[in-house]
Amino acid sequence: MSDIALVKDQQATRRSAHRIGRLTRINLRNGLLFISPWIIGFLAFQVFPITASLYYSFTNYTVLKPPTFIGTLNYVDLVKDPLFRISLGNTLYLTLVGVPFGTVIAIGLALLLNVKVPGQAFFRTVFYLPTVVPVVATAALFLWILNPQFGLINQFLALFGIVGPGWLATPLWSKPALILLQLWGVGGSMVIYLASLQDVPAELHEAAQIDGAGTIRRTFSITLPLITPVIFFNVVIGLIGSLQYFTQAYIMTAGGPANSTLVYALYLYNNAFEYFHMGYASALAWVLFIIILLSTLLVFRTAGRWVYYAGQ
């Protein structure tokens, strides 16, 4: 969907609104009627909770007693809270390492699948299948696979005489272990990359081939630049998801060892539903919201430098 089309559309709607005829009024009434479920849901499940959450973030609220206004105290506490810093650091680690790695592997697999070899559909299914596995089942499976003694990975490394690390049992390797689990699920973005690769015009490749450009050169000079809008989209989605990372850490490590996997959303959950510090948890939620907005904005700001739109 292009923004230009939207603006034009809006202008057209505005122009027609000047001569508010009977038809426009009927259409407005019908349109609003059709979207009324969304309007009600938006007000009840979004606008009201967002406002309430902002208010709670300035209160001391332990559920048992009504909230008492304490100004910016929660936010001041937050800056001083070592666990806030640790949890934010853990989430940023998972995002800054996990998202780039995931992007590279997803694109790499899509490029391999884009080579027209027999059995392509079979391999596509193999790579996609892990994304169909429920998160809780993936967490259980990887607890077993990452087991330091008998897990598949360390047993495999032992075949080559390598003593594998303690993975989730050690602060140094726990986060890489969680990233490994994330990488197993790159199939979802891979299929999107594959679809975009199939849209790259073959003529461009043929022309470059005649000019003597090799496979690698063509990949970096033609294919990748043409799919940058899709990379951009996937990075933004990956970023927003990664900053809210929760379930796997909750199930597999509960934040341990030594808080090395205490991710931000887990610390927020603990504050809200384990310690019932609803005010403090709301402040944490707002900081998360702002971090998500700012980092998304940051990616959008850099987009002009590396995203190539063929139409413009």
User: Distance from CA of residue 275 to its chain's centroid?
Assistant: 27
In the complex, least distance from residue 197 CB atom to other proteins, rounded to whole angstroms: 10
Residues between 149 and 168 that touch other proteins (CB under 8 A): 149-150, 152, 155, 158-159
Tokens of 198: 């199939």
In the numeric block, the tokens 């008998």 are attached to 150
Tokens of 12: 């057209």
Span of 10-18, 74-82, 88-96, 299-307 interacting with other proteins by CB under 8 A: 10-18
Position among 93, 219, 233, 299 found at the interface with other proteins (CB under 8 A): 233
* HSE (side-chain half, CA atoms, 13 Å) at 308: 10
- Does residue 58 interact with other proteins by CB under 8 A? no
In the complex, least distance from residue 31 CB atom to other proteins, rounded to whole angstroms: 4
In the complex, least distance from residue 71 CB atom to other proteins, rounded to whole angstroms: 19
**CA distances for 49 relative to 52, 60, 66, 265, 289, angstroms:** 5, 17, 17, 18, 14
Best CA proximity match to 130, nearest among 203, 176, 183: 183
Position among 97, 240, 299, 307 found at the interface with other proteins (CB under 8 A): 240
Residues between 88 and 107 that touch other proteins (CB under 8 A): none
Distance, CA of 218 to CA of 209 (rounded, Å): 8
Residues between 117 and 136 that touch other proteins (CB under 8 A): 117, 119, 123, 125-127, 129-130, 132-136
In the complex, least distance from residue 191 CB atom to other proteins, rounded to whole angstroms: 6
- Does residue 37 interact with other proteins by CB under 8 A? yes
Cβ 214 vs Cβ 60: under 8 Å: no
Position among 70, 73, 83, 141 found at the interface with other proteins (CB under 8 A): 141
